[in-house]
Structure formats: C-alpha cells, structure tokens
Structure 1
Amino acid sequence: MITYKIRRFNIEGFEIRGKKYLSPEEEFLLSKKVFVQEKVDGKFTCRDFGDFLILCEDLRDTHTIYYKNLPSRFLGFDVYQKDEGFLEVKEAYKIMLEYGIIPVPIIYVGKVDKEMIKNFVLEKNSEFLTEINPKMRDIAKEVAPDIVGKKNFIEGVVVKYYENNRLYAGKAVNPAFEKIGR
C-alpha cells in the first residue's frame, strides 16, 4: 500500500498548532511550474486497477463541507503506476477517466508563491456548489461565523510538482475549517 501524506505550507494566518509543515527545503516546489488542485473534504481511499492505484477522496461522508453538485462519490487526485511511480497530471487524469473516476479540478498551472496560494484558498469558488455541512453549522456559528452562509467555497488547495515519477506536494487549508473540525 502506498502512503500519501501531504504537509502544509507555512502561510501567515494559516498556522495550526500540531500540524506538520513543509521544511524550507521542501518548499522548492514554489520555484517550479506546478499544478494547483482543489482540495476536497472526504476520506482518502485508494482504488486498485491492476497496474494503477488511483488515489481518491470518498465524498460519501464529508466533514465540514457539504457538496451539492458532485459528479461522483469518488474524485481522483493522483495515479500511482506500480513499479513506476506517480504519473504526471495529464496522463493521470486520462487514466482516471478511462477507469470511470472523475478527477478533482485543476485551479491553476504555473509558478505560485504563498500569497497566491492563500488567495486561491480564500477566494476561489468550488465547482461543486458547497456550503457548511448542516451537521457542523452550530459549531461553525460559534468558532468561524464568517464562513456561515457562504457558498461555493473550497476547503483548500494542493500544490503539486512531478519529476522522475516522484510527487512533491504541499497543501493549504482554509483556517476556518480547522476551527470547525476541532
């Protein structure tokens, strides 16, 4: 089985005690052309299709976010080819679609910095018509009232760079969701 843990960018205003952050050396991906994906709020799962492991979020049970317009229960975000490594986004998305897995949206392709990442998290709209999970609304009113009533927000972003079948990645999550999920 493949392990898939992505640490966070250390972005001012997004710090959460107890979370793991990228080291300054790992932040080299900010100097590269990267892919920025919408981070979705589900449960990690790995679907095995013989030569390929398709890494997905199972959105049957979401946490903080309620998605009104999901094209599928599973959304794919990476493909690991056994004995080879991670496939770059274009090839990975092609494989996902061949196996009936809808890929998460790509928000941006190019060089980014921490300010851009922060703006993506706070300003981009989700393609899935989002709102606060009704089960979390009372908690949200208490700890993050500014997010209550907002629509079509994203949980966060994942920034990815691929080289020689390796994946280098970092993520940023809206701090409001961290407060709600505690």
Structure 2
Amino acid sequence: MTERADEDLMLAYQGGDARAFEILYQRHRGTLYRFFLRGMSRRDLADELFQDTWSRVVTARDRYRPDAKFTTWLLQIANNLLIDHYRRQRPEDTGESAEEAFRTTPTEVRDEPDRVLSDFEQARQMQRALAELPLDQRQAFLLRAEQELGVEEIAEVMGVGRETAKSRLRYALEKLRARLR
C-alpha cells in the first residue's frame, strides 16, 4: 500500500475525513513542534503556538488549495504565528532551557560532567547566537537547518522573493559563524 500524499490527505480532510487529519497530525507534529522550540526559548509559548497552528489548519481547511506542498502551507501558518508573537512581545530567557537540557540528557551522559557541560555550552552558545539574529534571518536559518527547505520553499513560507530569502539565509550564516568563532 502506498502512502497518501499530504496534499491528498488535506483535501480528504476538507471533504470531512477526520482520519486524514489524524494522519497529517501524526506525520508533522514533531517537525512543527521542533520548529517552534528552535524559534523561541520558552516551551510554554512553543506549546501554545503549536496548538494555535493546528487550530488554524482546522479553521482554514475549507480554504486550503494544493498550490504548494502541504508542509510549506503548514510552515507558513506557523511562521506567521511566530512573527506575530515576536511583534507582540520581546522574547525572554527564563532559564527553562538549562533545566530542560539537564532533564532530557540521558543518565549515562550526566555521569560525564565535562562532556555535558561542553555539549550544554555549545547548545547555549548556538541558542544565544540565534536569539541575536534579526527575526527574518533566524527564521530563514531555522527553515533551512531544521526543516531542510530549499531557498525557493523558504521564500514561499516567508512570503518573500527568492533573492531576499537567499540573502537572509546568507546573512544569518555569516553572523552565526562570526558569533560562534
């Protein structure tokens, strides 16, 4: 049995097939959640935006058109919610990331404090470097690094031209390299 394409599943959901939505949710929940976790420092906000994105998918199902890949459409919704969030308030670092890093570190690794500290410090430096990027550059970088989107898809998700997406990605990479040296 061949796997149904995301676009076909969304059209089936549009036609009333609730199981099609469940399949889409199962396929893309991890990817979408990681997108939000990388885009912000607070898990509770990532949870909220994750839920808001799926609510928007449900609400917009009648307007869905398979003009682009489903994942591009989904990430456009997510990206817009993230941008709206940052426009409303400045992100803050509450220290939750350090607690979460320790909680999710396997026990056998915790027994090697130098390694844990090194891994944690590298992750923390990357998080700080990402937080210092302008939002548009951070989003372009995360769409490339986390979602493995190409420049054309990044442009589509962000609602900009190909060259703009390309330059945002290039500037993000340059700034990250300089910051992490």
TM-score by length of 2: 0.29
The answer to which structure has the higher strand fraction is: 1
TM-score by length of 1: 0.29
Higher relative contact order (CA 8 A, sep 6+): 1
